[in-house]
Amino acid sequence: MCSRKCVVPASVLTPTVAVRVAREDSVATRRPLGRVMIRGAGGGENGRVARGGGVWGGVAEESGIGVVQELYLGPDDLRGGGSLEQGDEGSGRRHWPASPTKLLFAITIREGREAPEPSIRAFFYSLLQIRSQETAQKLKMVKICCLGAGYVGGPTMAVIALKCPSVEVVVVDISVARIAAWNSDQLPIYEPGLDDVVKKCRGRNLFFSTEIEKHIGQADIVFVSVNTPTKTRGLGAGMAADLTYWESAARMIADVAKSDKIVVEKSTVPVKTAEAIEKILIHNSKGINFQILSNPEFLAEGTAIQDLFNPDRVLIGGRETPEGKKAVQALKQVYANWVPEDRIITTNLWSAELSKLAANAFLAQRISSVNAISALCEATGADVAEVAYSVGKDTRIGPKFLSASVGFGGSCFQKDILSLVYICECNGLPEVASYWKDVIKVNDYQKSRFVNRVVSSMFNTVSEKKIAVLGFAFKKDTGDTRETPAIDVCKGLLGDKAKISIYDPQVSEEQIQRDLALKKFDWDHPVHLQPTSPTAVKQVTVTWDAYEATKGAHGVCILTEWDEFRKLDYVKIYENMQKPAFIFDGRNVIDPQKLREIGFIVFSIGKPLDPWLKDMPAVV
């Protein structure tokens, strides 16, 4: 029945009063759209009903939410001097107990005036203002500060700010340019729906700043969402997570803290990181109490806002001490503003940390499994889409994450699996380590298989041939290129001296040049620590148009599944290409049959092979 729930953290209210907002469907004659309920600890079971609602009605009207239709008071309040009775129209302040400890009332939202979040917030402010001076002093707004304004920190905090109007959220970052972008109309990351959320909250209860120490010092809850790259040298190089940025964040938090803090791991970290962070904080605490929580992010780029609005689950891990449990509850209350309670899972710290690595490893494993099958499909004449469909129809397996591709990319899968592998090795579990490592091996195999298909079909050389690359991001609807398979594919083609012309609707030339010049793993360091002037790769040009990129090309490689690539005019593309014209679809976005009819020689992952490719080896 309840379509939306919004629980205001108890800490913004007096210790004895908790406020809960719920929206319910109603069939009242005024066709209200919903109800906002504010309930005190005592609950409303014994309460009485008043129509009109006096001062509360005024508050509701002013805030634009609607009119109070029902007002419930707990018996204690009535004894304490309140005299609201059923039907007591506009009774107002004079009947209200000076310091209500238990109250519950409901407002019916007027038709066409569904309460927007800021109105609810305004409503609460009004509510707080009309409290007695003494009570108001006890009230405190929860302050959240997030270190790291990246793909994870930025959208997550924007959604918390939107869904929790009574919480102040400040996102801080060492990158001046990134913060400036967050404060401008051109946000630093492309994410559908993000602009809207940021516009609604920025300047109200969402702020972006480079004053890291000041805001961390003031926060009750500090989220840490800084980079955790794979180590490039020393112990565990190429596998272990590099916690340099995390460690310095922890030292800084300890340094600037003047009040107790909950420190939340948002970045994906190796299991037991919390223990290390806890040690740093406690040894530098100056008597301040720190609680560490693990609250890993499960958002996927391109759908981050939807994932945050409607998560499958929110995971909060904490210490199993009374203080740890209290901290878990405090964070749970933040999420409970919009996430149903049964989707908020609380666990111990280590389970939370490991669950994140395990979830990403399972997801990546599905892709490597279907990609391994795709190679077999090409060899046998099966169609991987048909196989995946049939396999996914088994409800025990399910249909998601079974699209064969040129390989998975993104900042998480490879890094997290490598971290998992390293942890297994450190714990004396080489068989487990090698099991998970194979997920990455199959992914690398899939990328090199693709390059080999391109080279071998084009008479075993692409030297000085123009190859158009459509799509560079690691998946559609994002401009993110971290660990994108396009990097390895382009490097493979460049290794055979191809001339590459790249088009991606969201990735800039500067980014592409940087990516092709960077060493493996360097991409996950903050930008200011990456090489400042990457030498442009001369064989690469970047265009802002798919037709321009493909003009005069010998071959086209589709490396990201952008929707627009399904709708291109392939006849026009074919006419402007060298012949024979090749198309290599690494994302299965085009219909191979239709393109063959136009005249293309087509390779699609895991699909029955074009006669041209039949006798050519998949791996040279």
Which residues are tagged catalytic? Answer: 412
What residues does 50 pair with on adjacent strands? 71
135 or 403: CB nearest ligand UDX: 403
If one asks whether residue 226 binds ligand UDX (CB under 6 A), the answer comes out as: yes
Per-residue x/- marks for ligand UDX, 172-211, CB under 6 A? -xxx--x---------------------------------
- Out of 152, 240, 377, 424, point to the residue binding ligand UDX (CB under 6 A): 152
Three-class SS state of 234:
coil
Instruction: Tell me how far the alpha carbon of residue 476 is from its chain's centroid.
Output: 15
Q: At what angle do helices 430-457 and 485-495 cross, to 10 degrees?
A: 50
Neighbours of 433 (CB within 10 A): 19
Non-local (6+) Cβ contacts of 295 within 8 A are 223, 264, 265, 266, 314, 315, 316, 317, 331, 352
Q: In the bound complex, what is the minimum distance in angstroms from residue 480's beta carbon to ligand UDX?
A: 8
Closer residue to ligand UDX in complex, CB, 6/241: 241
CB of 476 to ligand UDX, least distance (A): 8
Q: How far is CA 303 from the centre of its chain?
A: 7
Q: Whole-number minimum distance, CB 578 to ligand UDX, in Å?
A: 29
Indicate whether 299 belongs to the interface with ligand UDX (CB under 6 A). Answer: yes
Strand-pair category, 48-50 with 66-73: antiparallel
CA distance 162 to 198: 8
The DSSP 8-state label assigned to residue 202 in this structure reads: B
Q: Which range, of 196-204, 309-317, 403-411, 490-498, touches ligand UDX by CB under 6 A?
A: 403-411
Q: Quick one: how far is CA 259 from the chain centroid?
A: 29
Q: What residues from 459 to 518 belong to the interface with ligand UDX (CB under 6 A)? A: 474-475
Query: Which listed range, 96-104, 112-120, 294-302, 346-354, lies at the site for ligand UDX (CB under 6 A)?
Result: 294-302
Q: Which residue is nearest to ligand UDX (CB)?
A: 150
Closer by beta carbon to ligand UDX, 267 or else 501 = 267
DSSP string, 367-424: HHHHHHHHHHHHHHT--HHHHHHHHHTSTTT-STT----S---SSSHHHHHHHHHHHH
- Read off the tokens for 612: 């041209």
DSSP 527: G
Q: Determine the Cα–Cα distance for residues 65 and 71; give it in Å rounded to an integer.
A: 15
353 counts as binding ligand UDX under rule CB under 6 A:
no
Name the one range near ligand UDX by CB under 6 A: 283-291, 317-325, 399-407, 493-501. 399-407
Q: Contact with ligand UDX (CB under 6 A): which of 243, 315, 412, 489?
A: 412
CB of 404 to ligand UDX, least distance (A): 7
For position 225 contacting ligand UDX by CB under 6 A, the verdict is yes
Contacts to ligand UDX from residues 262-281, by CB under 6 A: 267-268
Q: How far is the CB of 299 from ligand UDX (least distance, A)?
A: 6
Least separation in angstroms between CB 453 and ligand UDX = 17
Query: Counting every residue, how long is the chain?
Result: 620
Minimum CB–partner distance for residue 522 and ligand UDX (Å): 12
Indicate the residue among 68 and 264 with the shorter CB distance to ligand UDX. Answer: 264
Residue whose C-alpha is closest to residue 154's, from 271, 297, 347: 297
Binding region for ligand UDX (CB under 6 A): 147-153, 173-175, 178, 225-228, 245, 248-249, 267-268, 297-301, 360, 363, 367, 401-403, 405, 408-413, 474-475, 524, 526
